[in-house]
Amino acid sequence: MPTARLISTAALLSTATLLSCSLAACAPTERDVGRGADGTAAASDRPDENRLRQQTLDWRDCPAPSPVQGGGEAPAPLPDGTRWQCATMRAPLDWEKPGGKTIGIALIRARSSGDADDRLGSLLFNFGGPGGSGVAALPAFATDYEELRTRYDLVSFDPRGVGDSRGVRCLDPEAAEEAEEKVDQAPDDGGDESDALVELNELIAAACEKNSGDVLPYVGTTEAARDLDLMRQILGDEKLHYFGISYGTQLGGVYAHLFPERVGRAVLDGVVDPTQDMMEGALGQAAGFQLAFEHFARWCVEQRCTLGEDVEAIVETAVDLEAELDDTPLATSDGGELDGDEVISAITGSLYSQSFWPALLVGLEAVTGGDGDVLAELAEVLGQHGSGGDGDDGTEDDGDDDGTDDDPVDRSNENDAFRAITCDDSSDRYTVADVERRMPEFLEASPLFGPGLAWSALSCAGWPVPGEARHPEVSAPGAAPILLVGNTGDPATPYEGAARMAEALGEDVGFELTYRGEGHGAFDSGNPCVRDAVHTYLLDGRLPKRGAVCEPAPLPEGK
């Protein structure tokens, strides 16, 4: 998401965000990328980078994900017995000072299942966010990519600032929960509520600076893209083969801009619009989620649900319900409450996949009858509440971080990393007046989702690091073709973003495939047409025909 974390990456693959990268900062020069005109390493220019390129990774069986990665059990071997291996790659903390302090980047891989002669190299994944642990995510979704493993080692990582790659820490979980409970995320009754939201964002920003100030200026997408190229070299690949989802599409676009000659076979799914600034991205998402909810409502009518006789009536029911519970929360059976923010969280999370629609239908019908338990559970499971991090661990930085912590946090740092990466990338710093001025546009785009997304533009208030630019630079003339998969029903990364990414990448680089589906992204839907197109390109190097369209499977059954 550009300005608001609405869903857990680990649970639903990804969310989207706008990133940024100024042309001057991102333009690849021989000194910046450490290469000569022929693409070979410029050893005499940057000896410290050459030293890092020559490192050997110590691959070992993976332990259980750390708390800051989300916790859980150690990844089980794949069906053929292949064990997951983990390692830590050292990268410069500041890529402009490659001889200075280093940062540990946590990696995970599963070796190729095919014959050595058929192996194409490593396929690197970023599942989105930003802020999601790739080390935790890849094993969870590995069955979806088993066919790709016939020719690739599957590799993912925790981007810098995420999980075990020096995960950013802001407020401790208890303080974050207490502070957020006092704040309405979509103020509607004047200055007090909006001032409280600004104060909360400034409180979080101050905590991030206090607890992660040494790493905070270096967690942006440009640095992550340079880390990707270092991974490529250390893994022994001439080209970067890449699969990016949601935010991962923006990371892939920035990489292509920095290193066009190093792009191998790449797929971007759930494509972020690189032409929008933070406010424009939020406005686009408001329209995207509204469209997705209207699709749900149309299906609801077909199921003869009790929420309304037509789409307009069901939308009105949801708007009224959010407003009513915003004023007077509904008690739940576990002693908690269901408020308006949680209603929006439950609805938003359910729109990421058609598979959640039946549960959303049941939850909305139940709450109109005074039972908020199902929607509260959906908000708990699908939404994202609070910030990760437990504050300063009291340790000193010796300048050579191995990517681990002696005093790990007790929960994922996904929210904190999302904010840190987003605010480092974006130079936008909006005020209450900015939001109020644009609010009519958001309400027109979506009376249900517009207000919350408009106010989320304040999330970088008080951020201690200046962002790079209003939107990223992804032009990549000369790069190999990149397959972009756009979903016409995608709420988080609206379909138009794929065409705009294709145009921004440049002629003969961005190659668009349309999926007429629902939910966020396309490959994860399991649609056979989409999967065949992605497999054919990544495994055989053949792109689909221009203008190719994949049709959806039938919608899920109702109650």
pLDDT tens-digit readout, 392-428 = 333 333 344 444 433 444 578 999 999 999 999 999 9
DSSP 458: G
Structure confidence at residue 4 (pLDDT): 38
Q: pLDDT digits over 333-374, tens only? A: 999 999 999 999 999 999 999 999 999 999 999 999 999 999
Across residues 149-154, what is the average pLDDT?
A: 98
Lowest mean pLDDT among 29-38, 57-66, 125-134, 508-517: 29-38
pLDDT digits (tens, 9 = 90+) for 51-69: 899 999 999 999 999 999 9
Tally of CB atoms within 10 A around 77 = 13
- Say what the pTM is: 0.87
What are the two backbone dihedrals, phi and then psi, of residue 289, each rounded to the nearest 5 degrees?
-70, -35
> Of 451, 4, 420, nearest to 220 (Cα)?
420
Joined tokens for residue 510? 């961005």
Q: Which two tokens stand for residue 120?
A: 């194409």
Question: Can you list the alpha helix ranges (DSSP code H) found in 511-552?
Answer: 528-535
- Spell out the SS3 assignment of 333-391: CCCCEECHHHHHHHHHHHCCCHHHHHHHHHHHHHHHCCCCHHHHHHHHHHCCCCCCCCC
> What is the rounded distance in angstroms from the CA atom of residue 139 to the CA atom of residue 47?
36
Sheet containing strand 85-92, edge to edge, reads 60-61, 85-92, 102-110, 152-157, 121-126, 240-245, 263-269, 482-489, 510-518, 549-550
**Average pLDDT for 218-240:** 98
Nearest to 510 by CA among 521, 524, 496, 498: 498
Give the pLDDT score at 184.
81
Are 151 and 112 in contact by the 8 Å Cβ rule? The answer is yes
State phi, psi for 485 to the nearest 5 degrees. -110, 115
Q: Phi, psi at residue 232, to the nearest 5°?
A: -55, -45
| 184 vs 430, residue with greater confidence | 430
Determine which of 19-23, 130-134, 496-500 has the lowest per-residue pLDDT on average.
Answer: 19-23
What are the pLDDT digits (tens) for 78-89? 999 999 999 999
Average pLDDT over residues 293-314: 97
Query: Structure tokens of 520?
Result: 């966020």
Q: Is 516 exposed, middle or buried (0-12, 13-18, 19+ CB in 10 A)?
A: middle
DSSP letter (8 states) at residue 150: G
Name the residue with higher pLDDT: 47 or 62.
Answer: 62
